[in-house]
């Protein structure tokens, strides 16, 4: 998982500096909208999903007034009618993809996802055909500069909160939990006074496929094409993210 989280965290840092920021805001607003409708209303105190969505919005530096407007709109009669849909398929070299979307027009989204696959040497599969290749995990990204407690003490607290893996980088700590412990870890971080930069359920590949760097770069380019689609919220795949590949992508 280390390579996947390293590359994801590099994208977080790059995304704040370029055009992807607008997409991050769109994704956060949709997450807020779905949380309000499906999680029990506009009050984050009684809606854990909304609390999580607000935290993620703050993590991409969304202004407070924008967050409040998104909550108000999602609560009103003219709220966008979003639904969550997923797609599975194969990219080049047999790399498996699992794509999560939030959309107000399923037909448009299906056509767009199918087109991206077909134009880039892949094909859209049937739902359920690849889900078994991924394991749902809670993933929490913490910023070291915001952590005041001793790191060894923090690790013990995180393990108590359900952490199964803790990956440390220079400025970020990524914490993984079992899917069923997502709420437990959220509560533990609240108890510790720590607001994660990002927290979400991710589909982690149980086995990865390693490709030559040039072929692997094409897969990550395909990932970006999916992520550039307005309806796409998350893209998961089973490509092995090697240090060599990360270095090559950072040089782009």
236: helix, strand or coil: strand
Specify the pLDDT at position 236: 94
Half-sphere exposure of 39 (CA within 13 A, CB side): 22
Q: What is the pLDDT along the chain (252 residues), one digit of tens a residue?
A: 655 566 666 565 555 555 677 888 999 999 999 999 887 789 998 998 999 999 999 988 899 999 999 999 998 877 888 989 999 999 999 999 999 999 999 999 999 999 999 999 999 999 888 989 999 999 999 999 999 999 999 999 999 999 999 999 888 999 999 999 999 999 999 999 999 989 999 999 999 999 999 999 999 999 999 999 999 999 999 999 888 888 887 776
Residue 245's pLDDT is what? 86
10 class by beta-carbon count within 10 Å (0-12 exposed, 13-18 middle, 19+ buried): middle
Bridge-partner residues for 131, per DSSP?
Answer: none
**Rounded CA gap, 65 and 67, in Å?**
5
So what's the pLDDT on residue 201? 92
Closest of 15, 88, 116 to residue 237, by C-alpha: 88
Q: What are phi and psi of 134, to 5 degrees?
A: -120, 150
d(CA 139, CA 88): 21
- What are the structural domains of the chain? 2-75 (1.10.10.200), 84-132+206-250 (3.30.70.980), 133-204 (3.30.70.980)
């Amino acid at each position: 998982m280390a390579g996947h989280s390293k590359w994801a965290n590099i994208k977080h840092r790059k995304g704040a500096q370029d055009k992807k920021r607008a997409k991050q805001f769109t994704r956060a607003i949709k997450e807020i909208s779905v949380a309000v409708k499906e999680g029990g209303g506009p009050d984050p105190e009684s809606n854990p999903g909304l609390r999580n969505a607000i935290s993620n919005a703050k993590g991409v530096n969304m202004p407070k007034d924008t967050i409040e407007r998104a909550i108000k709109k999602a609560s009103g009669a003219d709220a966008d009618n979003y639904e969550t849909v997923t797609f599975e398929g194969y990219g080049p070299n047999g790399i498996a993809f699992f794509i999560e979307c939030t959309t107000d027009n399923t037909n448009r989204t299906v056509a767009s996802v199918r087109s991206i696959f077909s134009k880039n040497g892949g094909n859209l599969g049937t739902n359920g055909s690849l889900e078994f290749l991924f394991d749902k995990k809670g993933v929490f990204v913490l910023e070291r500069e915001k952590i005041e407690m001793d790191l060894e003490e923090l690790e013990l607290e995180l393990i108590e909160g359900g952490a199964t893996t803790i990956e440390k980088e220079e400025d970020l700590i990524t914490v993984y939990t079992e899917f069923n412990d997502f709420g437990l870890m959220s509560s533990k971080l609240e108890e510790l006074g720590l607001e994660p930069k990002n927290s979400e359920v991710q589909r982690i590949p149980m086995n990865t496929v390693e490709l030559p760097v040039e072929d692997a770069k094409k897969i990550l380019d395909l990932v970006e094409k999916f992520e550039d689609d307005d309806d796409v919220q998350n893209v998961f795949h089973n490509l092995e993210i090697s240090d060599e590949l990360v270095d090559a992508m950072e040089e782009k």
